Structure formats: C-alpha cells, structure tokens
Chain A
C-alpha cells in the first residue's frame, strides 16, 4: 500500500550567511501493507512526527521516494497532490487545535465533503449525521463549537472529519496523548473498530509503548531521525535486538545508561558512527567510527546495529 524509500528531511536554521542544517529524518525506509497498522515509536525529538508529515507531503521531504498505492507521491505536482490528499489523512495530537475554533462540528465534518463536491446539500447533511454516529457522538453535538466539547469528543470529530473524505490511509500522530486514560481507551477502541470495518491502513505514531503494543501489527523504533529496529510488534516486544529498543521496552533497565548526557548533547554535530553510540552500554570502537547498516534478522525483522 505504502512504500517509503530513503526518506530524508533537513531543516535549515540561522540567517542567510550562516545556515545550519539539521537532519530530522535520516534516510528511513519502510513499507505498510493494506489494512495494516504500522507503529512508529520514539521519544520526543526523534523525528517521528516529521516522518509522518513528510510521508503525506504535508511538509516537503528533502529527498527520498514515497509510493502510495502505486503512485509516486514525491513526483506529483501541487494540483495532482491536492487531488490525492483526501485518500491520505492525518490525525494530530491535540484535538482542540485540529479543529477550527470558529466552526461547529457539523461544518467541520461537512468541509471535506464540500471540498470534494458532487454532493447535494441534503446528501452532505445526511452523511454528516451518519459520520457523527459512526464515531460515537450524539446528534446534539453537531451544533457545538470545539470549546464546548471535551478533548475526547473533539478527537471523535477529528476522526469523523478524516473519515468524511473516504481515506485509504491514515497517519495518526499521538492521537490520544493529550487525553485522559479512560478516554484514550475509548478513542483507541474506536480507531481499532474503524480500521477493521473500513479496512484502513494506518501509521500510528506514539511515544507510548503500551499503546503501540496494543494497536499495531508491525512497528519501528526511531531514534535521532533513524529507524533502529523494525519488525512485527510481537517479535520486537519479545526479542528486541537493538540496545535502544531494549532500553525502551525493558521496564527496569539493568544498567544506568546516563540519560542526562545523551539528553543534553546537541544533535547537529555530524559525527560518524552509530547515532546511539554515546548512550550505548555495549558500544565498541567500531560503533564510533562506522555507521551501521540495516541488518535483516529474518523475513521481517531489521536492526540497525553492528553488534547483532
């Protein structure tokens, strides 16, 4: 369904004279099969959100190739891209910010239908009410503004709005991290049901391992713009091979990995070698000097580490 090859995204900062480039996403490749949920896990600043947005070309990737349903998305012109957009939707972290504060629920949900055109006013109204029901809201919510509803209800509106454009592929970026636990469960359950009923392909971006374990079929662990390990979710939770993935998954890490140092170290110095080297308890000389290659463990389990 979706294939991403060597996706790169750099941001530049600083003035005209002294431009600094920061690599946020560094040559990542992955595939997502039809109807599959692909989890992308990492800590803040690892580039997972940028990876998600670049995949949809909501921000332009610096280089790389994205093939969606046989179409090379990176080659499309602005106009063609706009035609394709309804098929790929993004759900953002903060539901309250993802809705125009000046639009009532019904108008927000109707917007994608209007943009697509070809539907009468009646048909739009009917479809909006249908969607409101699909995502578990009441008809009375149709006339409310985002600030009159809770975060969980707004996230349902966001979902309905995304569904209104009949997407095949959804990128969900931490869709529940701002919500209460009991509401998170409601939303995730709803997403699972929708995925099953509509055969949606999903890329689920999160920092929460428990959530990704529950939601995704396959997953990738990102660190400093790179995918360090990728494979079936079950496989990774059972036998993570990369030291960083182990650190994330292991509830009580046996060794003190010097978190502070890693955290305060700045990322724009281009060092050779493995990105995780400064924090890695098993690092060898080789790790500092040479950048590791993706190694295939088995059919669908890859690790970016010299030591496996």
Chain B
C-alpha cells in the first residue's frame, strides 16, 4: 500500500528543494478533481525506498489563506480526499525559526498530524547558532528532523521516521485574531530561547545587504534592464540552433515519408498534416525551456523577488503591482505558463488585469511572423530589423500598460491588495534543481498546448485538402478553407489584404507562426524551406488586387504587425484562461475584445496610410 505525505511550508523555506530530493524525477502535475487547482505529486525516489508519494504545496505563510496559491494549499490540507488525512511534513527555515513557529502552532490547533523538517542547517552553522532539536521535539510534541538542502544529508532519517498510519482525527479550520498572533509570538520567543544556543553570531545577511545596497539603489534600474536584456537576448542566442535542428529534423522526416510513399494521401496527411503540426509545437520548446532556465536561475539566486520589488512602484502607476512582474515576463515566452504564474498574485484585481494583458506580450510564436513582415519593410537591413524587433518587445509592454491603465479605471480596487515581498538571502543557484524544474514546466507546456495546436493545425490542413477533385487536393481557392477566406474577404479588405492573407490570419488561430507557412501555400511558393521566405517576399512585393493595386503596402504590413501584437489567436491560451480564471465569460470576452481592437487598429493604420501617403 502506498502512503501519501504532504509537504507544507512558508515561501523560501526550502520545501521544494526537499521535495526534489525526495522524489528524484518521479513526479507529475496533478489536477485537483473538479476544479482549476493543480499541485505536484511525486513517488519516492527509488534509492530511498518504495510505496511513498509526496505532494508539494505552494508556499503559505499561514493556514488562513490570502492568495490563490495559499487557497491551493488549503484545499490539499482540508478538501482533497486523497490528501486531507495524509501526514504532513512541515518544512521550516531554521534561520527564521521564531517566525515559522506560528505555522507550527496553527497546524497543532488545526489537529493536523505532522512532522517538522528544519532546513538551512548550513546557514545556522555559518551564523554560529546551535539548536537543540531533540529538546524542541520534546517540548512541542512533534518529531523534528534536520535536512541539508545542498547535500541531502538527513533525508534517510526523515524517510525512516515517517509514520505509516494516518490520523483519523478531524481537521479544524482555524481563524486567528491579533491576540492569537501576539500569544504565538511570545510562545515562539520563549520556545526558541529555550532550545537555542548562540555564540558570537555572524550576520549572514552581511553579503546580501551589501549587494542590495547596489542592486536596489537607483543604479539598480540599470542592472535590472541589463539583466532582463541579457535574459531575452540569450533566449535567442541559445535556442536558435536547437530550434533549427528540430525544424530540420521534422523536415527530414516529412521528406522521407513522402519519398517512400509518393501519391499516397495517407503519407501526405502524415507528413504535411501530422508531422508538420508536431513541428509547430516543438519548434518553440527550446525557447520556452531557456526562459524557464533563466527565470529559475534568477529565482534561485534570490534576484527575482528584488526585481519585483524594484518594479513594484512603476507597475502600480499602471494599475498593477510587483507581483505581476514575473507572470508578464513569462508572457514573452508563452502565455500559457504565464497565466499559471498569476496564482502568486494575491489581489483579485491585479490578477484579473495581469491575466488580461499577458496575451498581448510578444510571445515566441509571434517572432517568425514579425520576422517576415519586418523583412518586407526593411529588406536587407538586418541591423535595423534587430532594433525594430527589440522595439516591438517594448511596444508590447507599452500597449500592455495602456490596456492595464484603462482596465484599472473600470475595476474597483479590491481589499486584498498587498505586496510584502520577502527578500531571501542571495545564494548560489542550484543548477540541478533549476534544470529539473525547467524540464518539468516545459513538459507541462507541451502536454497542455500541444494537443490543441495539433488539433487546429490538422483541421486547417484538412480544410485545404478538401473537397477532393479527382482524388487530388483542390486549388486553394476551391478548398473549404479557401472558400471560407473568400466569404470573409470583405472583412479583411479594410485591413488592405485579400482573402489569401485572410486564410493566413485564420490559420494563425491554430498557432500564430502557422501564418508564415500558410502564406507560402496561399501564395504558391514552391521553394524548399530554406528559400521559402525569400521567394515569399518576392511574391508579396508583386501581389496585387484584381484592380491592380498592390496588396502589401507599408500601411497594410504595419496594420498586420499591429494585428499580431494585439490579437488573441491562441486557443490554448483561451483554454488555460478558462481554467485559471474559472470564468469562461472572462476568457471569451478577452478573446473578442483583443481581436476586435486588433482588427480596428489594423484597419485604422491601413486607411490612414492610404489617406496620407497614397
């Protein structure tokens, strides 16, 4: 029989480090049945034993939840049938024992059966503090273990001591007044004093405070922009070769299938429908993985909470807060993990506004589209394109800020708005754990976004292949998708584009980057992938409407760029939004509003250009 244990602890207590040591790589994300909540569950690393699983809960300062993250922990402790009787492992940061005792008292009051694991033993040593854990255990009546997160020392003793029975005592929900906190503080102070022996204490915060005097000064903004620029630039430097490799790999497989079975519909379906759809999902994996690695590095070093604190005031002026910073930053890779990261925002209002603007951030799927359109505007000027590219990032932030400002005028401030960001010690990042977590998050992206993108990509491909004419694919204009494009042409025309571009825009609802390959199909580019872009550009330069006026002008292309910047075309994002916000109405409203604004903006840009420059 397998036994389940739940890890509970305050943020920065070292809980997730312990979880990673306990489970090795045997963990997965589990959905809480019937709700939007998910948590991580893992089986014990086989080198430590069998038949035990662990649940990692989001960090919580108290058993009285105040943020969506803390509500998840509450549900795991009280509501979920699989975990609401499980023995808990309360992870406590030894350096801040006195503060963390509050949670010990709350757990006891709630009749939760638990053991304590004290982490940061290395820091206690550095600080020259000795704690008599046996005495602590005796005094509070709970088993206490010591664990070193750097070396995993103490893990075997903990595992051996975990009880194999569950407590049937019903758990009580608690509510505390100020007096309870005051009493807990006095009790904690007395308790810690009884069991602690301090020598000549070293200030372990010395280095941290010295570094903060630079990183959190006015100069801190220069460091901030420097670090962020480096993060984004390195995404492209590091991921480009991997993305190219993936693309080349899939392209090779496609060609092999088609060569092996020429004139077979099934083979074409496999190569152009299925394989190409998988490629559309996987080509962004390197970028997403590198973003998570970069974020993991910044988080593990202790910088991320400081960046959030630094940017809190400017973000407040836009109707947001510092806690929105990380989700917005993640939005530059992909809106899906970014929306999940909004759980750390306590304020309902900030969470609402942040979730609304995240899809406007220039995610990686937009990059190939910008690449093509900018090449049209600035042919043979790589330097300028690079600059405009960077500019588009900042422009998307600017549009996000405008949207946030407008929304903040309509949404009343909620009562749950607070920032209060704990600043952990700067520490050497734990590369092993960073890699593991980045891989796990990337896997979660693939399994979440993949099926939806593949479904729509295959559907669109089939739309272009039917109805069959003499068992062959029809001319695009005759295909279902072509017919749809023509029916909708009056809608696209004010944007300055014809039905062929319209088909590209519709196909972008599978995944934005599909726009480029669809354009290659609708404009009948026959070159191989390497020369596709060049040929497509040439054709774009010559493409004309029936009356002879050019389709692609500066106006229509600028309009298209604006459209792609604002429009919400990603169905995975909509699905994630429904799950995360718990409101289908919000997700659909967002879809309609963003696409409408994108469309109207594109039309205005194109018409203004025609009016003033043609």
Interaction A to B: no
